[in-house]
């Protein structure tokens, strides 16, 4: 075996050697997830938009992490939700992916019912896979509790899924055991699924045993020899008072051994999960009206607050988890380390650091313009023959977005001017500050091509002093954005940049003015963007405390020709610098 083959084998073995990296809970629709219409998770409403769903997800999943110690969440999907409510529901998924692992699991239209229309079933999965197959935190559970299929039919369904979506990593695909996800070996012993993860469910209703040992044996029989690649995607018991089979149960203390079958179940299952080092998802983290729910909710939207229902239940859930590695959300930081000043000019290509679905969302996986930055955002040169003139966001599609950390100098009313070019009809941007819409539709003037940039202006109203996040979301398709200028007051005329003439003078300054008394770059206090003579971005340098040439030398730039670009209060300035 050569080293390459050994490395691949080792990677596969490590990927499924244990599943304890999953510490999760389910988040459910109050009606249960077996519905034929849109899934409206507890805390959401049918009137939600992408933005409002994102706020709810941030509060709920964030508090799962804070209160319960989770690093994963299991979210249901079905045809109506994905095909008819995609623009909203992706707000939940996208936020979940920024916080940790997300299992997207299909639920049928009713308990014990399969898809009503297989074309819609496959179209649903195609839409999900196209969007999230490359996401390292996304996992795909093909069918929840597939008890309507016999063993052979279920295996064939799984095999068809794998054939249709070969680009999904096998160790991100989860296959439920037959029945109510109770028989893992009947799926696992099919060699077609060797690299896939497996799922088991176990509930107190399936046994009524009164000893922990019996419950440990019960789930062991469901999993067989496949514990190393199985996840318990559902297990749960009573957290609040209720009646079952004519017997009333008050709050249970699961930290104490007992002959009560609920207590024996919770303690036995968690003991076996711990013994196996198996990852799990408690049913349910949040579901209104469910006495198994680990938390209860008060408030709505941004004011949602979760409260633990039964601490001893949380204790046993955490006892079952053997992984201690946290999944930290990606950190969002200003590009170049400093927030954009408002009033001032924001270069569109200098969006925040943080990555996909943190500081930006782009529907393509590569930078289709191929310049300036190396992530998925599509960036183009303003002038294909002269890269020194800067860059713009291009190849845009409806719904994509970018975020910018800004610092508002003082409270007041502001106006924005967005420099855009498009040959499309009704294309432009929508602007948000801290998640609130401030400019609903800033549309570019339709031109003949994407090379003529003009400013479209809109009032954005009052902004509070201090640091904020400005979000720019694309409206329509194929609009290029060069920069965003935010001005104090009710007008915001955009500058016209003078042509840059070639020069060997090491101190030549090219300035575009949009005021009678432009501020000098030395007074701007901003880090400057530094580019090679061919236009490749090389980094940022602080030029506020000395000469530009000396600043480049101090920053370690080798002798050569550079372009230095930055924005001052009333100017866009470009200097050609020769470092000797």
Q: Which two tokens stand for residue 2?
A: 């050569």
Task: Please write the tens of the pLDDT for every residue from 29-84.
Answer: 999 999 999 999 999 999 999 999 999 999 999 999 999 999 999 999 999 999 99
Confidence of residue 542 (pLDDT cuts 50, 70, 90): low
Beta strands in 312-388 (DSSP E): 340-342, 344-347, 360-361, 379-381
Please give the Cα distance from 82 to 98 (Å, whole number).
20
Question: What mean pLDDT comes out for the span 420-429?
Answer: 90
From 97, 91, 43, 99, select the one nearest 71 (Cα to Cα).
99
Question: What mean pLDDT comes out for the span 123-151?
Answer: 96
Residue-wise over 468-497: b if at least 16 C-beta within 10 A, else e?
bbbbbbbbbbbbbbbbbbbbbeeebebbeb
On the question of pLDDT at 139 being above 80, the answer is yes
Other beta carbons within 10 angstroms of residue 452's beta carbon come to 13
Instruction: Give the global pTM.
Output: 0.65
Task: Please write the tens of the pLDDT for every residue from 214-233.
Answer: 999 999 999 999 999 999 99
On the question of pLDDT at 199 being above 50, the answer is yes
Mapped onto helix, strand or coil, the DSSP state of residue 519 is coil
Pick the more confident residue, 547 or 523: 547
Task: Please write the tens of the pLDDT for every residue from 291-347.
Answer: 999 999 999 999 999 999 999 999 999 999 998 655 556 789 999 888 999 988 899
| Widest Cα–Cα separation across the chain | 92
On the question of pLDDT at 266 being above 90, the answer is yes
Q: Which two tokens stand for residue 396?
A: 């845009």
Q: How much of the chain exceeds pLDDT 90, in percent?
A: 60
Pick the more confident residue, 146 or 397: 146
Which spans in 175-279 are helix H? 178-181, 185-188, 212-223, 261-276
On the question of pLDDT at 459 being above 80, the answer is yes
Does an H or E element contain 560, and which? strand 560-567
Please give the Cα distance from 486 to 480 (Å, whole number).
18
Does an H or E element contain 93, and which? helix 86-99
143 CB burial (10 A radius; 0-12, 13-18, 19+): buried
Contact 237, 206 (CB under 8 A): no
From 138, 237, 149, 152, select the one nearest 197 (Cα to Cα).
138
On the question of pLDDT at 149 being above 90, the answer is yes
For the chain, report the end-to-end CA distance as a whole number of angstroms.
54
Beta strands in 349-400 (DSSP E): 360-361, 379-381, 391-393
Mean pLDDT of all residues belonging to the chain: 84
pLDDT number for residue 305: 95
Please give the Cα distance from 467 to 470 (Å, whole number).
10
pLDDT number for residue 490: 78
Contact 279, 322 (CB under 8 A): no
- Using CA of residue 221, residue 222, residue 225, residue 231, what is the dihedral sign? negative
Q: Which two tokens stand for residue 183?
A: 């028989």
pLDDT number for residue 237: 93
Contact 546, 519 (CB under 8 A): no
Contact 368, 503 (CB under 8 A): no
């Amino acid at each position: 075996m050569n080293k390459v083959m050994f490395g691949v084998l080792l990677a596969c073995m490590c990927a499924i050697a244990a599943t304890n990296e999953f510490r999760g809970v389910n988040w459910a629709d109050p009606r249960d997830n077996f519905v034929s219409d849109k899934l409206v998770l507890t805390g959401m409403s049918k009137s939600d938009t992408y933005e409002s769903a994102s706020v709810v997800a941030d509060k709920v999943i964030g508090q799962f992490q804070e209160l319960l110690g989770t690093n994963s969440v299991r979210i249901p999907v079905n045809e109506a939700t994905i095909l008819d409510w995609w623009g909203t529901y992706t707000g939940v998924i996208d936020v979940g992916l920024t916080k940790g692992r997300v299992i997207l699991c299909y639920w049928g239209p009713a308990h014990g019912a399969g898809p009503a229309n297989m074309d819609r079933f496959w179209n649903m999965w195609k839409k999900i896979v196209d969007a999230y197959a490359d996401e390292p935190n996304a996992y795909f559970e093909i069918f929840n509790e597939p008890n309507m299929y016999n063993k052979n039919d279920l295996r064939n369904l799984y095999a068809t899924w794998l054939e249709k979506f070969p680009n999904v990593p096998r160790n991100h695909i989860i296959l439920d055991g037959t029945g109510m996800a109770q028989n893992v070996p009947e799926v696992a012993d099919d060699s077609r699924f060797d690299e896939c993860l497996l799922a088991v469910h176990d509930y107190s209703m399936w046994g009524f045993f009164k000893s922990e040992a019996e419950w440990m044996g019960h789930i062991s029989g469901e999993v067989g020899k496949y514990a190393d690649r199985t996840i318990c995607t559902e297990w749960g018991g009573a957290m609040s008072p209720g009646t079952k089979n004519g017997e009333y149960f008050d709050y249970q203390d699961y930290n104490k051994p007992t002959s009560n079958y609920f207590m024996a179940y919770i303690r036995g299952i968690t003991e076996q999960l711990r013994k196996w080092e198996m990852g799990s998802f408690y049913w349910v983290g949040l579901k209104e009206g469910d006495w198994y729910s680990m938390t209860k909710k008060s408030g709505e939207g941004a004011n949602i607050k979760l409260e633990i229902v039964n601490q001893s239940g949380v204790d046993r859930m955490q006892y079952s988890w053997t992984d201690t590695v946290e999944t930290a959300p990606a950190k969002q930081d200003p590009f170049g380390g400093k927030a954009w000043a408002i009033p001032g000019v924001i270069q569109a290509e200098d969006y925040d650091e943080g990555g996909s679905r943190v500081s930006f969302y782009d529907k393509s996986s590569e930078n289709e313009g191929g310049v300036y930055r190396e992530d998925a955002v599509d960036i183009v040169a303003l002038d294909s023959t002269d890269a020194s003139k800067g860059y713009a966001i291009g190849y845009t599609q409806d719904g994509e977005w970018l975020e910018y950390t800004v610092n508002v100098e003082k409270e007041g009313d502001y106006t924005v001017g967005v420099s855009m070019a498009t040959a499309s009809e009704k294309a432009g941007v929508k602007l948000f500050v801290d998640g609130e819409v401030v400019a609903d539709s800033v549309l570019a003037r339709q031109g003949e091509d994407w090379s003529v940039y003009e400013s479209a202006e809109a009032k954005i109203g009052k902004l509070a002093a201090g640091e904020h996040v400005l979000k720019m979301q694309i409206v329509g398709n194929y609009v290029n954005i060069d920069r965003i200028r935010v001005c104090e007051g009710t007008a915001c005329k955009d500058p016209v940049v003078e042509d840059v003439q070639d020069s060997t003078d090491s101190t030549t300054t090219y300035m575009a003015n949009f005021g009678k008394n432009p501020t000098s770059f030395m007074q701007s206090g901003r880090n400057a963007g530094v580019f090679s003579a061919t236009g490749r971005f090389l980094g940022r340098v602080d030029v506020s405390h000395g000469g530009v040439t000396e600043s480049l030398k101090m920053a370690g730039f080798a002798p050569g020709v550079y372009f230095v670009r930055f924005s001052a209060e009333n100017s866009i300035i470009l200097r050609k610098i020769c470092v000797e």
